[in-house]
Amino acid sequence: MSKVLIIEDEVAIADLEKDYLELSGFEVEIENSGDVGLEKALQEEFDMYILDLMLPGADGFEICRQIREVKNTPILMVSAKKDDIDKIRGLGLGADDYITKPFSPSELVARVKAHLARYERLIGSSQQENDTIEIRGIKIDKTARRVWVNEEEKQFTTKEFDLLTFLAENPNRVFTKEELFREIWDMESIGDIATVTVHIKKIREKIEINTAKPQYIETIWGVGYRFKV
């Protein structure tokens, strides 16, 4: 359930806002003083703030500014004067929306819902988005460690995946087998660098149409390999 904090010194207005928001399924808390409200806003987690502008103690401008220093939570400013809204905009305090008194409670609810939905989408997309690389038909999902070649998923071993990803992340750069061995096998280059050749061959079998004429991982004779973009 989304939690809304209303900071409003006019008790009747605060109660009306609370009633309508609760009817729409929100959990609502009210603070009537600017100072106490500001403290609560900063210390507790809410999904949305509704701030009256003129308050005893810290005013809406100050509360908005201080919340924005530490949180991206949506803020709706409420003002008795239209002029104040121009002032809020001019100050660039980072409020998401403004509404003037008197307003219809259903208008307020509609705006709260819209801002919460937008904010949740924003948070959701930043949390869910996987780290991917896409190059000419090859898609590497680094988060899920999965690879698709022309929409078809291919299975890679851990080292094959690491090697392909490393080359794709550093396109058009030539790496020697020694460099690749050090990078992927994570030890000094005393090991068998032929391992790199074997892995490149396996990767090519999965991503190239014709392994004799590789389109992705090129062999630079006498030097090493590069991922061509």
**Pairwise CA distance, residues 222 & 229, whole Å:** 21
Cβ contact 184:163 at 8 Å: yes
* Shorter beta-carbon distance to Ca ion: residue 52 or 160: 52
Residues with Cβ < 8 Å from 86, sequence gap 6 or more?
A: none
Shortest distance, position 63 Cβ to Ca ion, whole Å:
12
**Phi, psi angle pair for 89, to nearest 5°:** -60, -45
* Closest CB to Ca ion among residues 11, 220: 11
Three-state SS for 177?
helix
Window contacting Ca ion (CB under 5 A); options: 8-16, 26-34, 95-103, 209-217: 8-16
Work out the angle at residue 49's Cα, subtended by the Cα atoms of residues 44 and 52, and round it to the nearest 5 degrees.
120
Could you give the string, one character per residue 127-166, with x where binding to Ca ion holds by CB under 5 A and - elsewhere? Answer: ----------------------------------------
Q: Which stretch binds Ca ion (CB under 5 A): 2-10, 38-46, 102-110, 137-145?
A: 2-10
Strands 132-135 and 138-141: antiparallel
List 31, 52, 160, 162, residue binding Ca ion (CB under 5 A): 52
Among 16, 30, 54, 116, binds Ca ion (CB under 5 A): 54
What residues make contact with Ca ion under the rule CB under 5 A? 9, 52, 54
